[in-house]
Structure 1
Amino acid sequence: MTALDADGALALELDRAHVFHSWSAQGALQPLVVAGASGCEVALADGRTLLDFSSQLVNTNIGHQHPRVTAAIAEQAGRLATVAPSHAVLPRGRAAEAILRHAPASFSKVFFTNGGADANENAIRMARLVTGRDKVLSAYRSYHGNTGAAVVATGDWRRVPNEYARGHVHHFGPYLYRSEFWATTPEEECERALRHLARVVEAEGPGSIAAILLETVPGTAGVLVPPPGYLAGVRAIADRHGILLVLDEVMAGFGRTGSWFAFEQHDVVPDLVTFAKGVNSGYVPAGGVLMSDAVARAFDDRVYPGGLTYSGHPLAMAAVVATIEAMEDEKVVENAARIGAEVLAPGLAALADAHPSVGEVRGTGVFWALELVTSRATREPVGPAAMGAVKAGLLDRGLLPFVQDNRIHVVPPCVVTDAQVARALAAYDAVLSELDATL
């Protein structure tokens, strides 16, 4: 390992002495020490520069240190650094207006939160209050955040040690590569997944269910783009029983899938939309709930029993406005769509053709996954030790990866260039060749 500079050494010393890291056993951690970043690159304190194909936690959609966003934060800090959410201030109104420019016509209100988890918390609360029902259905392959109801709505292992919230029921969503429904085509997977969901609704009692909460494209669970017709089918089930449809766009929204919201690609309009991450690329923490007019009107003469000290924080709101305006002016969402269709899709398909360890490639926009297997015949997932070697190999080749379970998630900022994708594909190719040799 290259020696750290003085600030980097101090940063690591203080981190290991005093910082408690999420989702980790603390004793053996050796975090990368980051000194700075720009665009799609991250500078480490040991002098290396890495191409960021993780977008950190799949949130720096506009890239690092975009000058319009950092300038907007600085300007707002000089004018009004903080204010209670009960007051009206221009950056909050402008942020809501900017977000709503890209929402369906039936939406005109935004409730701001500090991030994605509390966005989902509040969407669940709204659905329960509006319907007068309690249960929330969500998928086993999902992640909705690490707060009380959001983590229990989550389907993966992180739910299990945290199951303190009530009224949560899980079901299996579509995932053709590892189908729970013995499906062999996208059409079969869609039809059978919808039948399964309909049966869960019937078995739980439709009159007890407030909401179906889904990630439009499950992200951490594997970039599981739903088959055509699935989300429209979920919408129909919800409508049939007076259930609200809540789409979690925390990871998928604001350009990640090549459109402003992922649900635009699936011919569906939800009742509530949760967002965070890409709305301002995490420069200042922000999230929120987009409320359909029907939901918002329910609180015209009824107190909404929820709030946050930093709801609509001025610095975060200034960052939202600057991010969305920059993305509009610079055609960032269009770039994500083009990169996905013309560069990543063929490039990743070529990797799959060349490497038997790649079981499946799936994705859209700048939201892709390579699922790695020890055998294409058995589809046995590559194990943790081999995935650790994959991650280390990519870092050695100058790429900051997003590695999850037996997958490489290919999730660069939406501003990524063709040349940067070519560099990443070369790194993936080299590391997959090493993995193939061990299988």
Structure 2
Amino acid sequence: MTDISSDDLKAAGAKVFADDRAHVFHSWSAQGAISPLPIAGAEGSWFWDYDGNRYLDFSSQLVNTNIGHQHPKVVAAIQEQAGRLCTIAPQFANDVRGEAARLIAELAPGDLDYVFFTNGGAEANENAVRMARLHTGRSKVLSAYRSYHGSTSTAIALTGDPRRWANDAVGQSTGGVVHFFGPHLYRSHFHASTEAEECERALLHLEQVIQYEGPATIAAIVLETIVGTAGVLVPPPGYLAGVRALCDKYGIVYIADEVMAGFARSGRWFAVDHWDVTPDLITFAKGSNSGYIPVGGVIISQRIRDTFDQRVYPGGLTYSGHPLACASIVATIDAMREEGVVEHAARLGEEVFGPALRELAAKHPSVGEVRGVGAFWALDLVKNQDTREMLVPYNAAGADAAPMNELGAAMKARGVWPFINFNRLHVVPPCNITEADARKGLEALDEALEVADRYTV
């Protein structure tokens, strides 16, 4: 679009905005209260609007463009596949479908050797829970309060953040889900003072929930390996191994939700690899192909797969294993391997994000805690570091959310697009962001935090 005049670009942007406002119904929004920014293009870690403003994508859109925007190898693979075979129904065998499943199974831990493809993460969690219920013959599912698992009926019931509330109110959430508190030392529910105490007490709490609910009624425990939108909560050492042990003790299926944490985001292919834990099912989506084509899936262990060896699995999707999506997964995994994206994300966490964000915490009174790993970080912002009072209230909206809205505006004014949720600012750029761009974003964050500092006491 470089040959188009600025006036023509602005006119094109105005038409995009007009069409959007006239006809597009947006998710998670009051339709009359939003003003979507028209986007003209993107490349690598950057995107830009029709007015020529460029933004460093410190949000990876919805924490999914792990390999950046418009990666040439992935784009070429989609184009080549489109020229060869755009679609074929799920009941057929297809070359890229089989190759994508094989590559994912090779990356997954243990004997998780089978893949059921979906169109995204919510459907992956829906089907994982269905598999667990059918496998065990039980109905209940446990999930954490601080969590997000999607917005379809079972997935939103699993979700522990406030987006579930409105769905509960109109009966959209399904029953059979029980929530519990996961570990979060900075805001501990267990009066813990060390990671070891938090781990031990969180596991004791989980076992008590299992016992009071009735172990023979519980089909699965669903956990984000690293809690994503609800705060980038990295579990303490031993916690996931303890969950695995509880599942084994009571015959419960362990489902690891890696929709956000998987495929390089944490500096490993799967976040469970940090703790050498093998779940029974892993759900994935986002980073598996950076969202270039809608896709997700469930990675299935041998024993869960064997349940359906002679028994029909009662679920399916028209676009399960879509050839364009699978071709993009193959190309993404190949590119990540060739370019060392997983290793690069790990190095960024250890040498760039971790040290720099901890320096910001020491400098800015609004930063209560820094936590994260790889290209997956969050700042927990507070009014007071001693009391740890949140900078804005839980589920803040309207005027209550003003400090975080002003912080976000300050970052955008400096050419960096942030990811903000309640009192947290997440640092989640593409996993292959250059060190120079990463530091550029961190400099903008340093300046923008002065806005948050004004609200501290």
* TM-score relative to the length of structure 1: 0.98
Contact 2:383 2:455 in 1 (8 A): no
The structural deviation recorded for 1:148 is 0.9
**Per the alignment, do residues 438 and 242 of structure 1 end up closer, same or farther by CA in structure 2, a change over 3 Å counting?**
closer
Q: What is the number of equivalent residue pairs in this alignment?
A: 438
2:449 to 424, 427, 432: 432
What one-letter code is carried by the residue in structure 1 that aligns with 2:433? V
What one-letter code is carried by the residue in structure 1 that aligns with 2:182? G
SS in 1 for 2:304: helix
Asked if residue 288 in structure 1 is aligned to residue 297 in structure 2, the reply is: yes
* TM-score relative to the length of structure 2: 0.95
SS in 2 for 1:35: strand
In the TM superposition, what whole-angstrom CA distance separates every residue of 1:9-40 from its partner, at most 9, and x where no partner exists? Answer: 11111111111111111112111211100000
In the TM superposition, what whole-angstrom CA distance separates every residue of 1:135-187 from its partner, at most 9, and x where no partner exists? Answer: 00000000000101010011111112223312110000001111111111111
Please name the residue that 2:280 is paired with: 271
Q: How far apart, in 2, do the equivalents of 1:225 and 1:317 lie? A: 30
Asked if residue 75 in structure 1 is aligned to residue 80 in structure 2, the reply is: yes
Asked if residue 297 in structure 1 is aligned to residue 302 in structure 2, the reply is: no
What's the C-alpha RMSD, in Å, of the aligned pairs? 1.0
SS in 1 for 2:454: helix
Asked if residue 49 in structure 1 is aligned to residue 44 in structure 2, the reply is: no
In the TM superposition, what whole-angstrom CA distance separates every residue of 1:369-424 from its partner, at most 9, and x where no partner exists? Answer: 01111101111111210000000000000001101101110000010111111111
In the TM superposition, what whole-angstrom CA distance separates every residue of 1:44-78 from its partner, at most 9, and x where no partner exists? Answer: 11111100000000000000000000000011111
Contact 2:406 2:451 in 1 (8 A): no
Asked if residue 307 in structure 1 is aligned to residue 316 in structure 2, the reply is: yes
Q: How far apart, in 2, do the equivalents of 1:353 and 1:5 lie? A: 43
1:187 to 170, 190, 196: 196
Task: Pick which of 375-384 and 137-146 moved more.
Answer: 375-384
Please name the residue that 1:133 is paired with: 138
Trace 1:212-361 onto structure 2 (pairs within 5 A): 212-361=221-370
Q: How far apart, in 2, do the equivalents of 1:339 and 1:221 lie? A: 22
Please name the residue that 1:395 is paired with: 412
The structural deviation recorded for 1:437 is 3.0
What one-letter code is carried by the residue in structure 1 that aligns with 2:232? V
Contact 2:110 2:278 in 1 (8 A): no
The structural deviation recorded for 1:434 is 2.8
Q: How far apart, in 1, do the equivalents of 2:420 and 2:337 lie? A: 30
Please name the residue that 2:396 is paired with: none
Question: Tell me, which stretches of 5 or more residues in structure 1 are unaligned?
Answer: none
Trace 1:149-160 onto structure 2 (pairs within 5 A): 149-160=154-165
SS in 1 for 2:32: coil
Contact 2:361 2:367 in 1 (8 A): yes
Q: How far apart, in 2, do the equivalents of 1:248 and 1:438 lie? A: 35
Q: How far apart, in 2, do the equivalents of 1:300 and 1:330 lie? A: 38
Q: How far apart, in 2, do the equivalents of 1:167 and 1:30 lie? A: 38
Please name the residue that 2:395 is paired with: none
Contact 2:391 2:455 in 1 (8 A): no
Q: How far apart, in 1, do the equivalents of 2:17 and 2:387 lie? A: 43
What one-letter code is carried by the residue in structure 2 that aligns with 1:152? A
Task: Pick which of 88-97 and 98-107 moved more.
Answer: 98-107
Contact 2:190 2:198 in 1 (8 A): yes
Q: What percent of counterpart residues are identical?
A: 61
SS in 1 for 2:272: helix
Question: Tell me, which stretches of 5 or more residues in structure 2 are unaligned?
Answer: 1-5, 393-400
Task: Pick which of 271-280 and 44-53 moved more.
Answer: 44-53
Contact 2:43 2:68 in 1 (8 A): yes
Contact 2:199 2:237 in 1 (8 A): yes
Q: How far apart, in 2, do the equivalents of 1:91 and 1:438 lie? A: 53
What one-letter code is carried by the residue in structure 2 that aligns with 1:71? A
The structural deviation recorded for 1:266 is 1.2
Please name the residue that 1:175 is paired with: 184
Please name the residue that 1:10 is paired with: 15
The structural deviation recorded for 1:105 is 3.5
Q: How far apart, in 1, do the equivalents of 2:72 and 2:106 lie? A: 23
The structural deviation recorded for 1:267 is 2.2
SS in 2 for 1:430: helix
Q: How far apart, in 2, do the equivalents of 1:5 and 1:89 lie? A: 44
Q: How far apart, in 1, do the equivalents of 2:54 and 2:352 lie? A: 23
The structural deviation recorded for 1:294 is 0.7
Contact 2:403 2:451 in 1 (8 A): no
